Amino acid sequence: MRTTRETLTFDHPFSLMAVDKVQPAGTYAVDIDEELIEGLSFLAYRRVATTIYLPLHQGSHGSVQAVRVDPQELAAALETPSA
């Protein structure tokens, strides 16, 4: 298993199915967990989880909640302003 951390910057507020509230624009940490695909003649990994870290309370610093999200939903939220 390997984990890669990325930072994503949202230029507009966004919503995710796993969270009740609209999240404010800003920069968020995202972890991508991947597992090694066994039996190949080269190294290859498959994504098994994507987790975004959201503040527990808007405006608070330090307290975060880890939320598992669909990577396609996250990519769509990056591009499309929340309605």
pLDDT for 58: 61
pLDDT for 36: 95
Cβ neighbours of residue 35 closer than 8 Å, sequence gap 6 or more? 1, 2, 45, 46, 48
Give residue-wise pLDDT tens across range 43-82: 999 999 999 999 886 656 678 899 999 999 999 999 877 5
Whole-prediction pTM value? 0.81
Would strands 45-55 and 64-68 be described as parallel, antiparallel, or unpaired? Answer: antiparallel
Give residue-wise pLDDT tens across range 11-37: 999 999 999 889 999 999 999 999 999
